[in-house]
Amino acid sequence: MPRRFLLTLSVLLAAAFVGAPAAQAQYAPVIAVPGRAGVPVLMNGYDVSWSVIEGDWGLARPGQVSPTVIYRLAPGSVYPPPAGPYYPSTGRPPRYGRLEVVPPANRPLPRPAQSFYRDWGTQSDMSAPVTTYPPFNPPEVIYGPDSDRRPNPRPKPRPRPHP
């Protein structure tokens, strides 16, 4: 008798653990996948194929909450068509290549530029003292009460010596 009881109890527990996620599946969002190609999934007369449907409208309380349908994007809205060319100044595309002027070899050359050199650096004045104090005495620092802390109504526990 105890063996049969343990076997029955283990089967019931296994069934409860296996069936629990299936019972909770009605609350999760659902993607409406068509069962057959060319046959849409209809909901209130609208095609909701490949849309996400949210809401508590399963077996627990049907009709209590209206389902929320997040529709799929239309294929054209995912990748918009490429924009046409834009030529702001003339409205026509530019000519190919660059307009290069190749100077003749025997032209007069410009004067060479004067030389230019720039340098920067840092340096300490070794004749000055290491620490310079302000020319006057600054005002004294006044410590005020700590107004951000509230008084603790309970005293802190004293540490007990370990035996």
* Number of domains the chain is built from: 1
Among 61, 59, 42, 39, residue whose Cα is nearest residue 51 = 42
- Whether 12 maps to a domain, the answer reads yes
Confidence of residue 112 (pLDDT cuts 50, 70, 90): very high
- Distance, CA of 59 to CA of 53 (rounded, Å): 15
pLDDT score of 90: 79
pLDDT digits (tens, 9 = 90+) for 65-80: 778 888 887 665 566 6
Render the burial of 139-159: b for 16+ CB within 10 Å, e for the rest.
Answer: eeeeeeeeeeeeeeeeeeeee
Higher local confidence (pLDDT), 106 or 5: 106
- Whether 21 maps to a domain, the answer reads yes
- Whether 132 maps to a domain, the answer reads no
Range of the domain at 8: 2-73
- Whether 159 maps to a domain, the answer reads no
Tell whether the model's pLDDT for residue 130 goes beyond 70.
Answer: yes
- Whether 30 maps to a domain, the answer reads yes
- Distance, CA of 103 to CA of 88 (rounded, Å): 32
- Whether 64 maps to a domain, the answer reads yes
CB of 50 closer than 8 Å to CB of 31: yes
pLDDT score of 4: 78
At residue 121, φ and ψ (nearest 5 deg) are -170, 180
pLDDT digits (tens, 9 = 90+) for 76-105: 556 666 777 777 777 777 777 777 888 899
What predicted TM-score, i.e. pTM, was given to this entire model? Answer: 0.33
- Whether 152 maps to a domain, the answer reads no
- Mean pLDDT of the residues in the chain: 77
- Whether 27 maps to a domain, the answer reads yes
Tell whether the model's pLDDT for residue 54 goes beyond 80.
Answer: yes
